[in-house]
Amino acid sequence: MAGHASILSDDSALSRIDRALFRVETVLALIGGLAVFSLMLLAVVSVGGRNFFNQPLRGYVDWIEQAMPLIAFIGVAYCQRLGGHIRMDIAIARLKGRALWTAEFASTLVMLVLMILLAWGSWAHFERSFDFGAPMWSRDSSLDIRLPLWPAKLLAPVAFAVLSLRLALQLWGYGRAIVTGTDAPVAVPLIEDASTVAANEAATVSGFEDEMRDTGGRNG
């Protein structure tokens, strides 16, 4: 299941680096959201052109191909920081203390190794496409309007590299938790159980309702 998580912070170097990286991840996630919005606008233009002028947007599929890495990869580190990825936590949710942090450390280490390999392989794929001596610095292009493909291919190793940094920070956080035995490590997602999530959502809704009542009273 996808978990809800809270992330603690303090004045340690780990927490400062975590917050700095999170600002970068937030910008990347915003770029991914803008890419989704742009595709919506392109769809409106393409469908409108087809229906009203019998002329859809030329290269529509090519632009979708260029934007897909933005949508698929660029926000993965942001989601990892918030603990929003799908988790199978039937067993791990029963662990506490050092046992829990050790399990989280092991799974995060496996993910880090995989991401490093993916970043390495996707960078090699980008290098095969990029060429300073070629037109538009590209050895390959899209089929319709001949867009260079290297910008889209570059996004994958960039996203995987940022995710690798995030995973390395979380390994640091889990490692500190194992050594110190703390129940509240910083810079790692602390997955909340269903009752805590429900209580937080109820508190949020209650606060919103109170604010609406206060606003209505002042307007009245």
Return the domain boundaries, the chain: 4-203
Give the other-Cβ count within 10 Å of 144's Cβ. Answer: 13
Predicted confidence (pLDDT) per residue in 117-127, tens digit:
999 999 999 99
| Mean pLDDT of the chain, nearest integer | 87
- Residues with Cβ within 8 Å of 35's Cβ and at least 6 positions away in sequence, in order, are 67, 70, 71, 74
Q: What is the pLDDT of residues 56-71, one digit of tens each?
A: 888 888 999 899 999 9
Which pLDDT does position 163 carry in this prediction?
97
* pTM for this entry: 0.84
* Residue 218 confidence class, pLDDT cut points 50, 70, 90: low
- The count of other CB atoms within 10 Å of the CB of residue 197 is 14
pLDDT tens by residue, 150-205: 999 999 999 999 999 999 999 999 999 999 999 989 999 987 666 666 666 666 66
Asked if residues 28 and 77 have their Cβ atoms less than 8 Å apart, the reply is yes
More confident residue, 88 or 166: 166
Over pLDDT 90: what percentage of the chain? 57
Give 3-state DSSP helix, strand, coil % of the chain, rounded to 5. 70, 5, 25
